[in-house]
Amino acid sequence: MAEVYDPQAVERKWQARWRDAGTYNVDNDDPRPPFYVLSMYPYPSGRAHMGHVRNYTFGDLIVRHRTMQGYAVLSPFGFDSFGLPAENAAIKTGVHPRIFTEERIPELKASVQAIGAVYDWRRELRSHDPSYIKWNQVIFQRFLEAGLAYRRNAPVNWCPGCQTVLANEQVLADGTCERSGDVVTKRDLEQWFFKITEYADELLADLDALEWPERVKTMQRNWIGRSEGAEFDMPVEGRPEVRVRVFTTRPDTSFGMTYAVLAPEHPLVPALTTDEQRGEVEAFVQRVRTESEIERMSTEGPLEKRGVFTGSHVINPFTNQPVPVYLADYVLMGYGTGAIMAVPGQDQRDWDFAQAYGLPIIRTVEPPEGWEGEAYVGDGPAINSEWLDGLPVAEAKATAIEWLEQHGIGERTVNYRLRDWLVSRQRFWGCPIPVVYCPDHGIVPVPQDELPVLAPDDVEFLPTGESPLRFHEGFLHTTCPVCGGPATRETDTMDTFVDSSWYFLRFCDPWNEDAPFDQAAVAKWMPVDQYIGGIEHAILHLMYARFYTKALADLGMAPKDLREPFKRLFTQGMIRMGGAKMSKSRGNLVAPEEVLGTHGADALRLAHLFVTPPGDDVDWEAFGIEGCSRFLRRVWRLAIPDSETAAPAADSVAIDRAAHRLIERVSDEYERWSYNTAVASLMEFTNLLSKEGTTPFAVDTLLLLMAPMTPHITAELWELRHGTDIHTQAWPQADPELTKLDTTTLVVQINGKVRDRIEVDPGLSEEEAERLALASPRVQEALGGGAPEKVISRPPRLVNVVV
RNA sequence: GGGCGAGUGGCGGAAUUGGCAGACGCGCAGGAUUCAGGUUCCUGUGUCCGAAAGGAUGUGAGGGUUCAAGUCCCUCCUCGCCCACCA
C-alpha cells in the first residue's frame, strides 16, 4: 500500500476503523470541555448529493479539529424522515411511506460515511421513530396546556379538481395546481396554531447576541417585522356607535387623512355599505374572494379596479371632518386592524389611489425645497396640522399619540408582521396531533400513557392527495378519555418543522424513556456551539427552533436559562451546475460516488474546501478536483517512510521555522473559516518542501494540519510514520520564538510607485528605514542631489519618498 | 417597491488594520521523462511596448479624500439573494 497512493483502499480501511471502534462516540460524563457541532439533519431522499457533501465536509472538519484541540465533541446525526416526498411516492407506487423512507435512510447514511464524516451513531434519531413521535406529542400537549397551541379557522390552498388541500409548494407560480392544473382557491378550515407571536419581541431582541451571519439576522428581523405606531377609533358619520379602528405608523400625518380603507374581508363591510353602493361592493368582495392569491398580490393592473366606495364616511378625530370609506384589495385583514387611514400626501400608494379615485391630497410634512415628487415620506416640519405644525416627524408622532391617549381615542401600539405558526397539515406522513374530539368534552388530549398516537399501516394511498387517515375507520373512531363515549381523532398531522424544532435537544439524551430529554444533559451540551446548514432555512426552521427553545425553557422542560439553541451559525453556499441550480429535475446532478470512485473522498473534500469561501455559491464546473488529487499524491510521496521524493532539507532550521509559521497561519485560518486559503497555505508549504527538502517535523506538521480536511490519507501516512492514530494527536502549537522572521522586505516607493525592495531586519526603526530608503540608488537617482519633499516611513513594510 | 450582498486575469479565487494587486489552484503555452497516451518534473502566463533589462497601465464607470485606495466617501451602472401592496 505504501508505494502508490490508493485512495479507495485507504478510505475503506479507515472508515471501517472509525465505525467499528466508535472513535467519535462521546458520553455525557466525558470530562473534556464540551463542544456541540451539528449539521442540519437531512430529509432522507436517498444517496447524498453534492450539497450534502459540502455540508458534511464542513461539519466533519470542525468535529475533527475541535477533537484534536482537546474538546469532547458531540457530533450526532439523524433524519428528518417525515415529509411529502414519501407520501407522493406512496400515491404513485403504493409503497407505504415508512417502507419507502426506511429504504432511503441507509442509502444516505452510507454515502455520508463514504465521505469519511464521523458521528456518534448511537445517538441517531429519526422523526418517524415512535419514541420521537411520543415526545413530539407530549410537547404538543404541554403547549396546549400552556395556551401556546390553539385552534382557529384559517384558509388553506384548495384544489377543486383534486378535492384536496395543497401545500404552498404544490401551487404553481400562476396559481394553478401542479397536478391537475385547476386554479387553486382558498378555503377555511379549523386548524392548529402555535403562538409564536407571544415571543415576537424576545425573538427580535435576542438576535443581537447571536454569532450568526448578519444576512440571516436581517432576514429574521424583517420577518418579525416590528413596527411601532398607534391605533385609534373613528366613528361612522351619523352612526357614532359604530367605529372603525385603524392602525398607522404615521399618526403625525393624521390631519392629512382624506379617506379610509378597509380590507374586503373586514367584518364591518356589510354595516358600512349603503344600499346605493351594495351592488358594487358585493361584486367587488366576491371578485376578490375568487381571485387567486397571485392575482390579488400582483401590483399590476389598473388601480381603478382595485377599490370600491362603501357609501359611508367616518369622522377623522383630528379634524372632526368626515372622510369617505373605501375597500381595497391591497389592504390585508391579517395585518394591523385590517383598516387604514389614507394620507396621500405622505404615502405613495395612497397618492396613487387618490389620483385614481379623484380624492383630495393634503400635505402634512413640508417637502424639501425644489421637491418635484409626489408623496413625500422623508422628515420635515409638520404643516396643515394645527397644533402639530412645525414639529419634526418624530416629535409630531409622539405628540399625536399622547393626544390620542389623553382623549381616549386610541393608544400607542406595536405591530408585527410575524404570524402565529400554522402547524396543521392535512397529510398522512407526519406526526399525528394527539387529541380527540368528544361531542361532550370538546378537545381532549390523548392521555400520556397512550402515547404515541401512531398512524395505522393498513391504509390505501389514493391519487386524490387526501390523507388516508380521514377514511380509516379504525383510526378515526375512538373513545373520549374523559367520559368513555364515542369520539373522533384529529386526522391532521404536524408540520415537519415541528419535528426539526427540538431534535437538537433530543440528541443530548436520545435514550431517555421518561422525558424528551434530561435537563442536565441539555445543560451540558446546549446551546449548539456550531450549527451548519443551508441558507434556505434562514427564516422558518431557525425561527421555529428558537421559539421552541424559549417555550420549552419557560415550560420548565428545558433549563430556564437556555434562551437560544444555536450560538454560532454557518450557512454554506449552494452548488450550481453551469449557472443553474443542481437538481434532479434538471438532470444536471453530479453524483458524489463518481468522484469517490476516481479521486476518492479526501480529494473531493479538499476540492470543496479549496474551491471558494465556504459561504459562497459555487459552480461545479469550477471544482479543481484534479488539482486536489495531484496535491494529495504529492503529499503522499513526500510523507511515506523512506520516500525517494523527499530529500532531507539542507537548511533544516529554516524549514522547521517555516513549519511553525504555517501552524500559526493555518490555525488562524481554521478559526476564521478561511478554509480555501488554508488549503492554499498547505499547498504553498508542500511546494517549499519539494523544492528545499523536508524535515520530519515539517512533514508531521503538514499532516496534522491537514488531518481534519483529509482524514484518511493523513491517518494512513501518520500510521506508517509513527504507528499511532493522527486523530488522537493534539493540534500543533507554534513556538512564537521560531515564527519570527530574520529579514523582511522593505518596499521603497517614490511618489507611491514601487521603485526598490530592500531586505531588512523586521525590528528596524523609522529612522533606519528612512535612511536605507534614501540610500537606495533608485531614490538617489530620482532626487538628483536634491532633498525629498516628504518621507513617510512605515517600517518594516514600506517607505514612501515624495519628491 | 423595500432590505441585504457582490462586481479583481481565460476561470475559481487571494490581498487581517488604507501600505508590493493577482497568493494558491485550474486552464493554456513551451520544455524534460516516455515508443505513445497518462503520470511526474521544470519554465512561463493581467494588458500594452520591449529580444531583454525595464517602462507604462490595471480591481464595473465617473468623481473625491490621502504621501498611498481593490479597501474609505459621493454619484451611477450591472448582477445575485431575501421580503414583497405590512398602512
pLDDT tens string A278-333: 999 999 888 887 665 555 555 555 666 688 999 999 999 999 999 999 999 888 88
Q: Is the C-alpha dihedral spanning A261, A266, A270, A271 positive or negative? A: negative
CA of A644 to C1' of B27 (A): 30
Element (H, E) at A510: none
Element (H, E) at A197: none
Distance from first CA to last CA of chain A, Å, rounded? 65
CA angle A676, A677, A682 (to 5 degrees): 105
Pick out the nucleotide with least CA–C1' distance to A332.
Answer: B86
d(CA A454, CA A673): 43
Q: Is A567 exposed, middle or buried (0-12, 13-18, 19+ CB in 10 A)?
A: middle
* pLDDT for the residue numbered A301: 56
CA of A13 to C1' of B56 (A): 59
d(CA A242, CA A274): 14
Q: At what angle do helices A711-722 and A625-639 cross, to 10 degrees?
A: 10
A170 pLDDT exceeds 70?
no
* pLDDT for the residue numbered A110: 94
pLDDT, tens digit (0-9, with 9 covering 90-100), for A27-65: 999 999 999 999 999 999 888 888 899 999 999 999 999
Q: What is the ipTM of this complex?
A: 0.94
CA of A51 to C1' of B16 (A): 30
* pLDDT for the residue numbered A585: 57
d(CA A316, CA A321): 6
d(CA A281, CA A219): 38
Whole-prediction pTM: 0.91
- In this complex, the answer to whether residue A306 has its CB under 7 A from any atom of chain B, a nucleic strand, is yes
* pLDDT for the residue numbered A1: 40
Pick out the nucleotide with least CA–C1' distance to A755.
Answer: B20
Alpha helices in A436-492 (DSSP H): 473-476
A714 pLDDT exceeds 80?
yes
CA of A352 to C1' of B82 (A): 27
- In this complex, the answer to whether residue A197 has its CB under 7 A from any atom of chain B, a nucleic strand, is no
CA of A746 to C1' of B72 (A): 25
Report the range out of A357-371, A539-553, A581-595 with the highest average pLDDT: A539-553
CA of A631 to C1' of B21 (A): 26
pLDDT, tens digit (0-9, with 9 covering 90-100), for A550-574: 999 999 999 999 999 999 999 888 8
A596 pLDDT exceeds 60?
yes
Tell which strand B nucleotides have any atom below 7 Å from a protein Cβ. Answer: 2-5, 11-16, 19-21, 23-27, 39-42, 55-56, 67-69, 80-87
Which grid cell is A726? 493522527
Pick out the nucleotide with least CA–C1' distance to A415.
Answer: B86
Percent of all residues in chain A with a pLDDT value above 70, rounded to a whole number: 94
- In this complex, the answer to whether residue A331 has its CB under 7 A from any atom of chain B, a nucleic strand, is yes
Mean of per-residue pLDDT scores for chain A: 89
A150 pLDDT exceeds 90?
yes
CA of A275 to C1' of B26 (A): 76
Contact of A202 with A550, CB cutoff 8 Å: yes
CA–chain centroid gap for A2, Å, is 44
CA of A566 to C1' of B87 (A): 35
Going by C-alpha positions, the residue among A375, A374, A373, A391 that lies closest to residue A383 is: A391
For A544, what's the count of Cα atoms within 13 Å in the CB-facing half-sphere?
19
A107 or A372: which leads in pLDDT = A107
Give residues 747-766 of chain A lying near strand B (Cβ < 7 A): 747, 749, 751-755, 757
What confidence tier does A128 reach under pLDDT thresholds 50, 70, 90?
Answer: very high
CA of A317 to C1' of B3 (A): 35
Give residues 614-673 of chain A lying near strand B (Cβ < 7 A): 616-619, 622, 624, 626-628, 630-631, 633-634, 665, 668, 672
- In this complex, the answer to whether residue A581 has its CB under 7 A from any atom of chain B, a nucleic strand, is no
A579 pLDDT exceeds 70?
no
A618 pLDDT exceeds 60?
yes
- In this complex, the answer to whether residue A22 has its CB under 7 A from any atom of chain B, a nucleic strand, is no
DSSP characters for A440-453? TTEEEEPPGGGPPP
A208 pLDDT exceeds 50?
yes
What confidence tier does A137 reach under pLDDT thresholds 50, 70, 90?
Answer: very high
Residue A172, SS3 per DSSP: coil
Going by C-alpha positions, the residue among A624, A598, A603 that lies closest to residue A713 is: A603
pLDDT, tens digit (0-9, with 9 covering 90-100), for A746-763: 888 888 888 888 888 888
- Which segment of A186-200, A459-473, A598-612, A613-627 scores lowest on mean pLDDT? A459-473
A643 pLDDT exceeds 80?
no
Pick out the nucleotide with least CA–C1' distance to A222.
Answer: B83
Give residues 81-120 of chain A lying near strand B (Cβ < 7 A): none
Element (H, E) at A330: none
Residue A84 identity (one-letter amino acid): L
Percent of all residues in chain A with a pLDDT value above 90, rounded to a whole number: 59
Going by C-alpha positions, the residue among A146, A216, A152 that lies closest to residue A419 is: A152
CA of A301 to C1' of B77 (A): 30
What confidence tier does A785 reach under pLDDT thresholds 50, 70, 90?
Answer: confident
d(CA A359, CA A341): 13
The single residue listed with the C-alpha cell 405608523 is A249
d(CA A678, CA A701): 14
pLDDT, tens digit (0-9, with 9 covering 90-100), for A658-698: 999 999 999 999 999 999 999 999 999 999 999 999 999 99
* pLDDT for the residue numbered A594: 85
